[in-house]
């Protein structure tokens, strides 16, 4: 009893209040979606009723988490992670297809997405691993293991066709960045992402051409010193390298060659050029060229594989819609309806429960993925502004908590939490206002969905529990 009291004293009050206010906002908005003149607030058969029930369950579970020892989470991080991987695989095998994804597991009448709970356990595992190697040199093996801890569940989730959740896991690059992984590594991961998006927008070939042009400029500008020092070697290097680039640039158009083959020829020429000058020590061009080669291979060979094999048709279509590339009326419809609903809210909104577009079901899946539309319509810019500020404060508070930890385990975990929330809200709100392709993931605490609310609550309460012990070093 005494101990419990002391824990409640140490729980971060601002975050707790921010959390509770988000929950209330969520419940009010789910109710607004199902509202009509004959709907009562306490009706457990309707979404808002169920949501209310789940919030209650989440609070009970959350506060009982506060009674755990902090060491429980460090001790069992690995076990929980192992269980998560197993459950994700089982889900992939046995799950039924819901909206094109095989990511839902059914236990009795309760359906849940293991990927939601896997976020917490993956965060714990990453925290555990990074705290073990804290202060040690970042060997290649350690870094690889860190990326694998993130990548394995992500890969399984991609196989489940749940690209939205997988993207959220990708947000953990922010955490390894904060933990001191080299910036260029993190930037490289981001570069792959950017190349992917640009290749989707402009097609594979223009991206490859631009990348090639950039590396060529980089090499030419850096070659002056070399040419001055070793004239013949330098010129031979430049000629071979430029010939490779030239061959690629004209190969496709003029010679009518398959661009994949032209790209391969260019990469071989570049490597040959580098071998020629490998003994000139100060000449640091290997790493940029290797990175370039990896990017090129990804762009030339990976993007098509991903768009045709990994991303579901509807997702490619939605990306294309957003980029104005598709004339498919249906995919465009979602975004248009969503923007229209938000836009119709104006400055001060139409008032709570007065959302006419909301109530006439203008936006598909409005209680789940498109709940932000309801806020936009009923509360206007005033409401969305306040809402985003609350959410931003929430995330910044999580980072604040992370930074005040003495134990690396707690810090890493808290950063994971912040990253997850950041990416969820970025994708979810981004898609409703037409800045990001339509990828179905919920807005934490706001969207209707029991397993999402419960999973994010557990995530938050574990962090609150760890934070209550912030003065200790956890291993």
In contact, 209 and 449? CB cutoff 8 Å: no
Residue from 188, 314, 352, 472 touching other proteins (CB under 8 A): that is 314
Q: Which residue number, 209 or 325, has a Cβ lying nearer to other proteins?
A: 325
By the 10 Å C-beta count (0-12 exposed, 13-18 middle, 19+ buried), 352 is classed as: middle
| 331 lines the binding site for other proteins (CB under 8 A) | yes
| 437 lines the binding site for other proteins (CB under 8 A) | no
How far apart, in whole angstroms, are the C-alpha atoms of residue 395 and residue 401? 10
DSSP string for 112-172: E-HHHHHHHHHHHHHHHHHHHTTTS---HHHHHHHHHHHHHHHHHHHHTT-HHHHHHHHTT
How far apart, in whole angstroms, are the C-alpha atoms of residue 88 and residue 83? 9
Residue from 60, 356, 473, 475 touching other proteins (CB under 8 A): that is 356
Extract the tokens encoding 259. 């661009």
| 414 lines the binding site for other proteins (CB under 8 A) | no
Placement of tokens 């229209």 in the chain: 340
Stretch of 82-90, 196-204, 276-284, 337-345 lying at the interface with other proteins (CB under 8 A): 337-345
| 470 lines the binding site for other proteins (CB under 8 A) | no
To 10 degrees, what angle do helices 204-229 and 286-297 make? Answer: 170
Q: Which residue number, 213 or 385, has a Cβ lying nearer to other proteins?
A: 385
How far apart, in whole angstroms, are the C-alpha atoms of residue 77 and residue 74? 5
Residue from 246, 333, 352, 472 touching other proteins (CB under 8 A): that is 333
Residues 15-74 binding other proteins (CB under 8 A) are 36
Pairing assessment for the beta strands 101-107 and 110-112 based on DSSP bridges: antiparallel
By the 10 Å C-beta count (0-12 exposed, 13-18 middle, 19+ buried), 43 is classed as: middle
| 193 lines the binding site for other proteins (CB under 8 A) | no
Residues 283-302 binding other proteins (CB under 8 A) are none
Q: Which residue number, 77 or 431, has a Cβ lying nearer to other proteins?
A: 431
In contact, 225 and 246? CB cutoff 8 Å: no
**DSSP summary character for residue 43:** -
Residue from 234, 345, 440, 449 touching other proteins (CB under 8 A): that is 345
CB of 453 to other proteins, least distance (A): 22
| 472 lines the binding site for other proteins (CB under 8 A) | no
| 96 lines the binding site for other proteins (CB under 8 A) | no
Helix, coil or strand: residue 436 = coil
CB of 314 to other proteins, least distance (A): 7
Our measurement of the distance from residue 4's CA atom to the centroid of its chain's CA atoms, rounded to an integer in Å, reads 35
| 304 lines the binding site for other proteins (CB under 8 A) | no
Residue from 218, 298, 381, 472 touching other proteins (CB under 8 A): that is 381
| 376 lines the binding site for other proteins (CB under 8 A) | yes
How far apart, in whole angstroms, are the C-alpha atoms of residue 411 and residue 469? 12
| 395 lines the binding site for other proteins (CB under 8 A) | yes
Phi and psi for 98 in degrees, rounded to 5?
-120, 120
Extract the tokens encoding 386. 């306040």
How far apart, in whole angstroms, are the C-alpha atoms of residue 366 and residue 428? 12
| 76 lines the binding site for other proteins (CB under 8 A) | no
| 342 lines the binding site for other proteins (CB under 8 A) | yes
Q: Which residues on adjacent β-strands are paired with residue 96?
A: 104
| 343 lines the binding site for other proteins (CB under 8 A) | yes
Q: Which residue number, 325 or 426, has a Cβ lying nearer to other proteins?
A: 426
Q: Which residue number, 219 or 439, has a Cβ lying nearer to other proteins?
A: 439
Contact set with other proteins (CB under 8 A): 36, 134-135, 174, 177-180, 313-314, 317, 328-331, 333, 339-340, 342-347, 350, 356-357, 359-362, 376, 380-381, 384-385, 388, 391-392, 395-396, 399, 402-403, 408, 415, 418, 422, 426, 429-430, 433, 435
């Amino acid at each position: 009893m005494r101990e419990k009291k002391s824990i409640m004293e140490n729980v971060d009050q601002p975050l707790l209040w921010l959390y509770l206010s988000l929950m209330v906002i969520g419940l009010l908005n789910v109710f607004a979606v199902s509202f009509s003149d004959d709907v009562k607030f306490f009706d457990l058969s309707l979404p808002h009723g169920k949501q209310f029930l789940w919030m209650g369950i989440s609070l009970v579970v959350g506060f009982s988490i506060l009674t755990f020892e902090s060491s429980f989470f460090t001790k069992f991080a690995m076990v929980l992670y192992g269980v998560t991987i197993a459950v994700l695989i089982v889900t992939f095998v046995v799950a039924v297809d819901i909206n094109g994804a095989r990511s839902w597991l059914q236990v009795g009448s309760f359906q849940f997405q293991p990927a939601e709970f896997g976020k917490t356990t993956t965060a714990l595992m990453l925290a555990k691993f990074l705290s073990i190697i804290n202060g040690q040199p970042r060997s290649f093996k350690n870094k690889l293991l860190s990326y694998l801890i993130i990548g394995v569940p992500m890969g399984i989730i991609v196989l489940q066709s749940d690209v939205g959740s997988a993207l959220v896991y990708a947000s953990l690059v922010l955490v390894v960045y904060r933990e001191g992984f080299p910036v260029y590594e993190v930037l490289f991961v981001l570069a792959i992402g950017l190349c992917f998006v640009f290749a989707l927008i402009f097609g594979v070939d223009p991206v490859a051409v631009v990348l090639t042009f950039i590396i060529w400029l980089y090499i030419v500008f850096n070659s002056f010193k070399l040419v001055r020092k070793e004239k013949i070697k330098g010129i031979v290097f430049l000629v071979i390298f430029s010939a490779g680039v030239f061959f690629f640039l004209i190969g496709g158009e003029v010679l009518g060659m398959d661009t994949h083959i032209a790209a391969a020829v260019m990469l071989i020429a570049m490597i040959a050029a580098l071998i020629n000058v490998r003994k000139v020590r100060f000449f640091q061009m290997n790493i940029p060229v290797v990175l370039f080669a990896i990017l090129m291979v990804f762009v030339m060979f990976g993007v098509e594989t991903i768009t045709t094999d990994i991303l579901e048709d509807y997702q490619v279509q939605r990306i294309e819609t957003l980029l104005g590339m598709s004339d498919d009326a249906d995919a465009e419809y979602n975004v248009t309806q969503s923007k229209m609903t938000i836009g119709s809210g104006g400055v001060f909104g139409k008032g709570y429960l007065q959302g006419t577009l909301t109530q006439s079901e203008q936006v598909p899946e409005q209680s789940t993925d498109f709940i932000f539309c309801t806020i936009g319509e009923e509360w206007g810019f005033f409401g969305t502004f306040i809402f985003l500020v609350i959410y931003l404060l929430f995330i910044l508070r999580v980072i604040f908590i992370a930074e005040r930890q003495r134990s690396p385990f707690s810090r890493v975990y808290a950063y994971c939490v912040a990253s997850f929330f950041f990416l969820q809200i970025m994708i979810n709100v981004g898609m409703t206002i037409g800045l990001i392709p339509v990828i179905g993931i919920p807005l934490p605490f706001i969207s209707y969905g029991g397993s999402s609310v419960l999973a994010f609550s557990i995530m938050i309460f574990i962090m609150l529990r760890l934070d209550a012990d912030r003065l200790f070093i956890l291993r």
